[in-house]
């Protein structure tokens, strides 16, 4: 009998080796300034993307060589190289060797935040392209309406959804015009939470009217700016996903809302880091394929 095709696997790919098909959806990280045995193994298995962290960066020349070497190892197939280069406290390219990029909050509070956001996106793109990096996991589009939200805080353009929307769109326009893909995060909005999803599973308990008018507004603007991808948070959103212990990153309902209601269509959707503390202790369903990122339709990312 013909095998049953899970709905997240395109029909044309059913003949491919299952392990390589799964590997295409994985973004991995590794240790060191050169491709180590783990990186080489993951590339050999067919992983589609790699993420660069502080632990991989010593100098501009070194990281440019590293990224080029990773792509050569994957050739002739493409390998997407990504990084977290937001500015402020979340940046992997740091001064004095790279530009001193301010936090989003400083940009949102300046006299012309939209112009500043665009200028920042342009600088980041130029430096990433020079080092063979294809994507930055930015901008942060969370509307920071909770002063106790330390994990977002100054990573956000501020507490006004209109400012966050305009700044995010300007950043994306400038970034992608220079050949670097952007990523709208953290869908469907991590701004009004108190738990840090690196350590625990937070929740956004607003109703849909509030989510639509505040949390989702910057994502609509990003999609209008043709953002290349979106990152889904490890975040409980009961108004969108009523099943207990089912974060947005593992919820088909949350991802489908992004694709259909916000018209993101077939844009790239990925999860936040699958090694984050928010996912520890979740009672995953016993049935194969239920409750994880593959069910949601988001690409898993591991550090």
Spell out the SS3 assignment of 47-89.
Answer: CCEEEECHHHCCCHHHHHHHHHHHHHHHCCCCCEEEECEEECC
Q: Give CA angle at 120 (25, 264), nearest 5°.
A: 40
Catalytic status, residue 272: yes
Helices assigned H by DSSP within the chain = 18-23, 37-45, 60-74, 104-108, 113-130, 161-177, 208-210, 217-224, 252-256, 293-296
Instruction: Please name the residue that has the structure tokens 């590794």.
Output: 30
> Quick check: 269 and 297 in contact, CB under 8 A?
yes
DSSP reduced 3-state for 28:
strand
Q: How far apart are CA 179 and CA 199, in angstroms?
A: 34
Give 81-114 as a DSSP string: EEE-EEETTEESS-TTTS--PPPHHHHHTSSSHH
> Quick check: 89 and 145 in contact, CB under 8 A?
no
Active-site choice (198, 209, 234, 273):
198
**How many other CB atoms are there within 10 angstroms of residue 72's CB atom?**
11
Catalytic status, residue 198: yes
Active-site choice (84, 192, 272, 273):
272
* Burial class of 27 by CB neighbour count within 10 A (0 to 12, 13 to 18, 19+): buried
CA distances from 45 to 36, 265, 287 (A): 14, 28, 26
**How many other CB atoms are there within 10 angstroms of residue 2's CB atom?**
5
Instruction: Please name the residue that has the structure tokens 């953290």.
Output: 186
Q: How far apart are CA 149 and CA 163, in angstroms?
A: 18
Active site residues: 198, 272
């Amino acid at each position: 009998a013909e095998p049953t095709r899970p709905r997240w696997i395109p029909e044309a790919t059913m003949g491919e080796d299952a392990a390589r098909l799964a590997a295409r959806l994985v973004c991995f990280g590794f240790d060191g300034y050169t491709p180590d045995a783990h990186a080489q193994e993951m590339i050999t298995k067919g992983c589609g993307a790699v993420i660069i962290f502080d632990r991989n960066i010593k100098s501009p020349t070194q990281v440019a060589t590293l990224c080029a070497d990773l792509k050569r190892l994957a050739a002739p197939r493409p390998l997407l190289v990504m990084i977290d280069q937001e500015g402020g406290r979340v940046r992997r390219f740091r001064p004095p060797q790279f530009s001193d990029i301010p936090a989003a909050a400083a940009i949102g509070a300046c006299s012309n935040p939209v112009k500043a956001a665009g200028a920042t996106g342009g600088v980041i793109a130029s430096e990433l392209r020079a080092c063979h990096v294809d994507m930055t996991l930015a901008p942060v589009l969370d509307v920071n309406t909770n002063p106790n939200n330390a994990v977002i805080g100054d990573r956000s353009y501020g507490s006004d959804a209109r400012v966050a929307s305009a700044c995010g769109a300007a950043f994306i326009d400038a970034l992608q015009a220079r050949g670097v893909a952007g990523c709208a995060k953290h869908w469907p909005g991590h701004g009004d939470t108190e738990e840090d999803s690196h350590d625990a599973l937070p929740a956004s308990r607003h109703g849909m009217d509030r989510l639509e008018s505040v949390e989702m507004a910057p994502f609509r603007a990003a999609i209008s700016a043709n953002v290349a991808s979106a990152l889904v948070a490890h975040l409980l959103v009961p108004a969108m996903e009523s099943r207990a212990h089912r974060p947005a990153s593992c919820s088909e309902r949350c991802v489908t809302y992004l694709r259909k209601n916000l018209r993101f269509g077939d844009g790239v959707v990925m999860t936040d880091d699958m090694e984050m503390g928010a996912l520890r202790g979740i009672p995953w369903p016993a049935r194969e394929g239920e409750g994880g990122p593959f069910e949601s339709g988001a690409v898993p990312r591991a550090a």
